[in-house]
């Protein structure tokens, strides 16, 4: 029997997923909860094989949860649930230790098959994901990190050995790609997408 716990921001959705999973003879949902602070308690007491984790729980980034707990409990497999079909989320989830990334509007078969593939065959569902070109280039990500550190355009120019005009071009481009209107907006969006860590910011 595959033992599963579900951590999701929306309790109603979590119980809906649990009902789907419980219809399978070999899958069992031990707990549905919304408070990430209870994750350690439920992992220790219920000893699940798999945690289905929402990409965002209250004000907590689910990607950071997976990064911390996948290292702390290596025998537990983490599958991310997300309502956002963003490549940056998918890439970051796998980088942080998730073994699966399933959209909330995917078919029930894909969810159930994914759980079984992870548990029975020790598969990482990453190979099923067709990676699109990342939202930001490596240089744009680096510039975004520097913006988050409150560095001015001239400072970024000197640090990267590129002209100030090139810096301005990249900033304009990354702001447009992120769908925001300002440097601060870009930093906030970058944190939400997991491109930069909140601890990196000084703004």
Which pairing describes strands 56-57 and 50-54: parallel, antiparallel, or unpaired? Answer: unpaired
Domain 138-200 has CATH 3.40.50.150: no
Using pLDDT thresholds of 50, 70 and 90, give the confidence band for residue 191: confident
Residue 4 CA: distances (Å) to CA of 119, 136, 199: 10, 35, 31
Q: 78-94 burial, b if ≥16 CB within 10 A, otherwise e?
A: bbbbbeeeeebbbbbbb
User: How many percent of the chain have pLDDT more than 90?
Assistant: 56
pTM of the predicted protein model: 0.65
Kind plus residue range of the DSSP H or E element containing 196: none
Render pLDDT for 27-58 as a digit per residue (tens, 0 to 9).
999 999 999 999 999 999 999 999 999 998 87
The predicted-structure confidence for 100-157, as pLDDT tens digits, reads as follows 999 888 888 888 888 988 888 777 776 554 434 467 888 999 999 999 999 999 999 9
Domain residue spans of the chain: 2-128, 138-200
CATH class in words for 2-128: alpha beta
User: What is the model's pLDDT at position 5?
Assistant: 98
Please provide the average confidence, as pLDDT, over all residues in the chain. Answer: 88
pLDDT (average), residues 180-189? 90
More confident residue, 203 or 148: 148
> Residues near 80 by Cβ (< 8 Å), separated by ≥ 6?
53, 54, 55, 62, 63, 66, 89, 93, 98, 100, 101, 102
């Amino acid at each position: 029997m595959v033992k599963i716990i579900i951590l999701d921001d929306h309790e109603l959705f979590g119980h809906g997923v649990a009902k789907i999973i419980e219809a399978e003879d070999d899958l069992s949902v031990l707990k549905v909860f919304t408070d990430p602070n209870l994750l350690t308690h439920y992992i220790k007491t219920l000893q699940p094989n798999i945690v289905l984790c929402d990409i965002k729980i209250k004000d907590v980034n689910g990607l950071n949860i997976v990064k911390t707990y996948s290292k702390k409990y290596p025998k537990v497999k983490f599958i991310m649930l997300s309502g956002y079909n963003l490549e940056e989320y998918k890439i970051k989830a796998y980088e942080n230790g998730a073994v699966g990334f399933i959209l909330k509007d995917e078919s029930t078969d894909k969810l159930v098959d994914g759980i079984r593939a992870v548990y029975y065959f020790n598969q990482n569902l990453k190979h099923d994901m067709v990676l699109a070109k990342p939202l930001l280039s490596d240089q744009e990500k680096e510039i975004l990190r520097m913006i988050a550190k409150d560095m001015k355009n001239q400072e970024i120019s000197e640090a990267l050995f590129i002209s100030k005009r090139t810096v301005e071009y990249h900033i304009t481009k990354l702001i447009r790609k992120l769908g925001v209107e300002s440097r601060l907006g870009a930093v906030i969006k970058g944190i939400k997408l997991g491109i930069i860590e909140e601890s990196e910011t000084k703004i």
